[in-house]
Chain A
Amino acid sequence: MQELQQDTRYLPEPVEMQPLMDALADAFAVEIEGTRESVATWYDTFDWRLYNRGYLLRHRDRHWHLLDAGTGETLVSCRAGAGKKRVFSWDLPAGRLRSLLEPLLDVRALLPLVTLHSGDTRLRILNRDQKTTVFVEFSRQQVRGTDTLLRTVRLIPVRGYDKPMRAVRAFFDKHEVVEKVPLFYGFEQGLRAMGRAPGDYSSKFAIQLDPDLTARQAAVTIYRLLLETMLVNEEGIIRDLDSEFLHDFRVAIRRTRSGLGQMKKVLPADITATMKEEFAYLGRITGPVRDLDVYLLYERDYRARLPEMLQDGLGTFFADLAGQRKVEQKKLVRALRSPRYRQIVTSWDEYLRSDDPTPSADADVPVIDLARRIIRRRYKRIVKDGRAIGDDSPDEHLHRLRIQGKKLRYSLEFFRSLFPDDEVGVVIRQLKRLQNNLGEFNDLSVQQEMLARSLRGLRPGSRRNMELSAAIGGLLTNLFHEQQRVRKRFARTFARFDSRKNVALFRKLFH
């Protein structure tokens, strides 16, 4: 059966609410239910993990509501504490909401995006029996921190009372309240008022390069995007919202450094040399906190690796790391607020906008030629080095290969848009598999070094340190065995990367 749907209309600027309500009360028998005040805050991660899955999360009246962004349907509701500046999945109440969001959020925090203060006045349109036939809800929403005020009126039909609904619609049409608003009008407009838009940030590097660009133009485009990524992550690092702001910031630094190294003769030599140094400095000041973040994330894994009797020693170990992190975070914030940092990013930004005419060897080469050349060179190098690695080769060789892999990966990602997407996709997937193996191997080395360092620093004597050294000993053994297993898998993983089919694909794309 054709049913009348509810509709929400936007109150245009010149229409005043009170006179409109008065006119409605003159035209119909109306009962006013009163005004309900509420505060709603919408949350998502900085990289829109919920929105990208079609979810919206609202905090209102000490409850969480997970909504379907397409239909507006409430999927889960549960009690919550007061709103916070950030909420991790482990801060959510145990239950359906948490189990649904845990895998999506991972280590990212939910952050308040926009807060709306609403006052809703509900009226009932009555018939001669004083029966409600239509609900009319006037709503005023103030976007916190802005002077944006959203005004709407919602008409909610009651089943079987189509005639009064039509009459109420006609009333609003006559008063020029006509234009309907989308489902999540408040959320969307609120975001806009806050200067954000759904999906405006992603950790993935994606850039569309025009194949007609010169190498200089392309490089500048790439560097600018990377610099933007750094800048938008700054605030989250300084406010210490979650570990991924710093992570993304550092990846952008590494990508820039890798670009400067590989596209060596695209910018003038002095610029390349200076910026390489500056970005190396940025890498250094951000390193310690990131290392500690990574170690702290191992806690759960380490407990799982140890028998219960050895786990106690870990408590102090991680408390100690958390303490160190606090100190390093302070230093990092100081560095990011220093004139030196400001000077690096502003001068880089200015340079990238300057359209520098200074010639350099590769400046005017078509980007596609440069891309092929770089990728081909990196690829050849990996194949050569990888083939030389046998079961007895020193660890050092695998570490070097890992760095080579990263460089190839970055250049593939820089230039991806210049090649057929599905084929580059295959190439990247194959490379990723190799990188996973090498990355795992490296992580395990780093962890063992870190643990060994801690062990050396322990003074014997106290019971606490004895327990801790036992735990570290257990972990070292366990990690060592795992690393050997990963090492054994290398040969097969590399052989797959070096398969005839894959080699042919590389040749086809980049020669």
Chain B
Amino acid sequence: MSVIAVYNIKGGVGKTATSVNLSYLSACQGNKTLLCDMDSQGSATYYFRIRPAKKFNTRKLLKGGKHIDRNIRGTDYPGLDLLPADFSYRNIDIALDDLKKSRRRISKILRPLREEYDHIFLDCPPNVTLLSENIFHAADRILVPLIPTTLSHLALGQLLDFLDEIELDRAKVLVFFSMVEKRKKMHGEMMRLLQDEPGVLPCAIPFLADVEKMGIYRQPVAAMLPNSPAAESYRQLWDAICGELEGP
């Protein structure tokens, strides 16, 4: 059983596409899998054609237990469930701040779900917030999609520093390259520079129209186009992550 948070301080780096495809691949292998959409924009929720119940909101999420149970939805794929996001999540930090042990709330909420699921994916909003801090505590692994550019590298440094600051183990972090464009020289150079750093997986998801199109057909690319290069690159990424989860 493991909780995998897909996170980056920057937005638009392919977090949701990653969460959606990896959770789908996990379920395909017979693992009972839950994807929690933590981003108030609800993109993952949208990809699976799910609408949250009208009564579901931040308050219900933070109460946990049956309030969450009731709002989990089955996707179109056996073994894969989703906890939808609600727009009210945009103010989740304020709600968290009012609570006792405000840094451990998400861990507590996930505890009963760890019993039920083999893998839980958290699709996280960008930025460093109290919610992210909660997620870092709750996650066994923080999976960081990284576009191989200088600025992204800087952002990764910021994340690692922040983990040091809140006294969490940097070894939780797994990095892979996202939205890689072969023809861009800088992408290649950046990847060579980073490839031997600890926690960097030897995987790259190319920048592909098939991934972009997920918003149109609203399915994981691995389900819609299982033989596409995009699907294959997600499968390689998932294999690498499984290797890390099993440990040496």
A residues adjacent to B (C-beta < 8 A) = 1, 124, 129-132, 157-161
Contact = CB atoms under 8 A, between A and B. Distances in A.
Contacts of B73: 158-161
Given A124-B76, A159-B72, A160-B72, A131 B66 contact: no
B70 A1 contact: yes
B49 A131 contact: yes
Given A1-B66, A130-B49, A159 B81 contact: yes
Given A129-B51, A158-B75, A159-B81, 17 more contacts: A1-B69, A1-B70, A124-B76, A129-B49, A129-B50, A132-B76, A157-B74, A158-B73, A158-B74, A158-B76, A159-B72, A159-B74, A160-B70, A160-B71, A160-B72, A160-B73, A160-B74
A326 B184 CA distance: 73
B89 interface: no
Contact of B74 (A129, A130, A161): A161
A158 to B, nearest CB: 4
Interface pairs A-B: 7 shortest CB-CB:
A159-B74, A158-B74, A131-B49, A160-B73, A132-B76, A129-B49, A1-B69
B48 interface: yes
Interface of B: 48-51, 66, 69-76, 81, 218
9 contacts: A1-B66, A129-B50, A130-B49, A131-B76, A158-B75, A159-B73, A160-B70, A160-B72, A160-B74
Nearest to A159: B74
Nearest to A156: B78
A131 B69 contact: no
Contacts of B48: 131
Contacts of A161: 73-74
Contacts of B74: 157-161
Among A124, A130, A160, the most chain B Cβ lie within 10 Å of the Cβ of A160
A1 B49 CA distance: 24
Contacts of A157: 74
A291 B81 CA distance: 61
Contacts of B76: 124, 131-132, 158
Contacts of A159: 72-74, 81
A124 B74 CA distance: 13
A130 B75 CA distance: 12
Nearest to A158: B74
Contacts of A132: 76
Contacts of A124: 76
Nearest to B71: A160
Nearest to A132: B76
Nearest to A133: B74
Contacts of B218: 130
Contacts of A158: 73-76
A189 to B, nearest CB: 26
A129 B76 CA distance: 12
Contacts of B49: 129-131
A168 to B, nearest CB: 14
A412 B71 CA distance: 65
A124 B76 CA distance: 9
A258 B105 CA distance: 78
A321 to B, nearest CB: 46
A157 B72 CA distance: 13
A160 to B, nearest CB: 4
A357 to B, nearest CB: 68
Identify which of B69, B70, B74, B76 gathers the most chain A CB atoms within 10 Å of its CB.
B74
Contacts of A1: 66, 69-70
A160 B84 CA distance: 11
B148 to A, nearest CB: 36
A144 B72 CA distance: 43
Nearest to B53: A160
Contacts of B71: 160
Contacts of A131: 48-50, 76
B113 to A, nearest CB: 13
A233 B149 CA distance: 76
Contacts of A129: 49-51
A5 to B, nearest CB: 13
A1 B72 CA distance: 12
Contacts of B50: 129, 131
A85 B72 CA distance: 47
A125 to B, nearest CB: 11
Contacts of B51: 129
A130 B69 CA distance: 23
Nearest to B70: A1
Nearest to A160: B73
B30 to A, nearest CB: 9
B159 to A, nearest CB: 34
A137 to B, nearest CB: 12
B20 to A, nearest CB: 14
A364 to B, nearest CB: 67
B63 to A, nearest CB: 15
A131 B219 CA distance: 10
B51 to A, nearest CB: 7
B146 to A, nearest CB: 32
Nearest to A3: B69
